[in-house]
Chains A and B, each alone.
Chain A
Amino acid sequence: MYLSFILRQFRIQLYRKTAGIRKHRKKLKIIAVSMLLLIIIFIAKEMVTRNSTMHSNQNAVFSWPGSAVSIAGIAGIAAITSGSIYVVYRKKQNSIAQLPVLTQKEKEK
């Protein structure tokens, strides 16, 4: 009973939040399909060229698990760096002197 209530609330919220997007459904579909096609073509092309260039002197060595590890490593370090930058930034922002908040008595004066 309670779960169905939560699910219903969630569905209503989702429906409300996506109202703006649903207006342009047709355009979005076209963009999504074209992007998907581009990505598929790109991946297919990459698979072909990587196999052909693996033994040539043109590029470095590629293997899918190795590449995935490299990308994951880069993404992880990027996340740590950006996260720490953001934390430092927030701390600095909080340390900036705030304007004095008037008390009720001062407001009345």
Chain B
Amino acid sequence: MKGRKITLFRLLCLLFTTFSFIFLVGGFNIFLLGFSLLCALIFGRLWCGYVCPLGFYQEILSLFRKKLHLPAIRIPQKVKPFLRPAKYIILIYFLLGMAFFNFHPVMYIRPDLAVSDSALALWEISVFGIVTGVCFFNERFFCKYCPLGTLRGFANKISFGRIKKKGSACTHCRACLESCPMDIKEIYEERGKTDVTHSDCIYCMKCIEACPEPDALSFSLFGKTLLKSKRNIK
């Protein structure tokens, strides 16, 4: 974890919020979900990276994988365009379920309750199991198709948190792309634009931490630069 202060801070935030939810929230809470969506208007998908207990569960899985020295398996570029519409189909299903079928996604607030429910149907056990299995090898797999994340992603474009890139300082070393848990290509590929905030970005700052070029990548909130990439001399 040396030189990864933001990641450590983020994991501590996730640990704190997960335990806070366990102790303070009894189950599904529509107000909390609403609050998370309101927060997205200001901070974008910052909730996904620093608060979401389901995200913490996935982070734990990938930490466990790293401890076992197993490789991360990424979704092939050829498959991605086919999987992209799935995100919106899941979102529609989620919204319809919430609106008409009394669907209570307790998973987003208390994944421990959702997983340990004794009345789980076989298909639910299968879905949870498969998602867990895939998340073990693919970091933050569920976040890529999460309906709430998709909703927050719409706000990412207008939020006050911005990831900026200085094209002239970038050497295209792919460090940002390799470290990104959401597999965002645009941060690496973008040459002209300075604002590289993507709708999938969860502001984990791994790209900024990994970037070896000083000032090539930066994060700003309300127009004020909070974090910049710097050369790590080891």
Contact = CB atoms under 8 A, between A and B. Distances in A.
B115 interface: yes
Interface stretch (B42-50, B128-136, B146-154): B128-136
A52 B67 CA distance: 39
Interface string B62-76: 000000001101000
A93 B128 CA distance: 28
A67 B118 contact: yes
Contacts of B113: 59-60
Chain B interface mostly: helix
A74 B61 CA distance: 14
Interface in B130-173: 130, 132-134, 136-137
Contacts of B129: 73-78, 80-81
A88 to B, nearest CB: 9
Interface residues of B, number: 27
Contacts of B106: 59-60
B28 interface: yes
Contacts of B220: none
B117 A60 contact: yes
Interface residues of A, number: 31
A66 B125 contact: no
A66 B125 CA distance: 12
Interface in A33-90: 38, 42, 45, 49, 53, 58-63, 65-67, 69-71, 73-83, 85-86, 89
A63 B120 CA distance: 12
Nearest to B122: A73
Contacts, number: 92
Contacts of A74: 115, 125, 128-129, 132
A62 B134 contact: no
A56 to B, nearest CB: 9
Interface string B96-118: 00000000001000000101111
A86 B134 CA distance: 10
Contacts of A83: 133
B137 to A, nearest CB: 5
A35 to B, nearest CB: 11
Contacts of B70: 86
Interface stretch (B18-26, B181-189, B201-209): B18-26
Interface of B: 19, 22-23, 26-28, 70-71, 73, 106, 113, 115-120, 125-126, 128-130, 132-134, 136-137
Given A77-B130, A81-B134, 18 more contacts: A53-B26, A53-B27, A60-B119, A69-B118, A70-B115, A77-B125, A77-B126, A77-B129, A78-B128, A78-B136, A79-B133, A81-B129, A81-B130, A81-B133, A82-B132, A85-B133, A85-B134, A86-B70
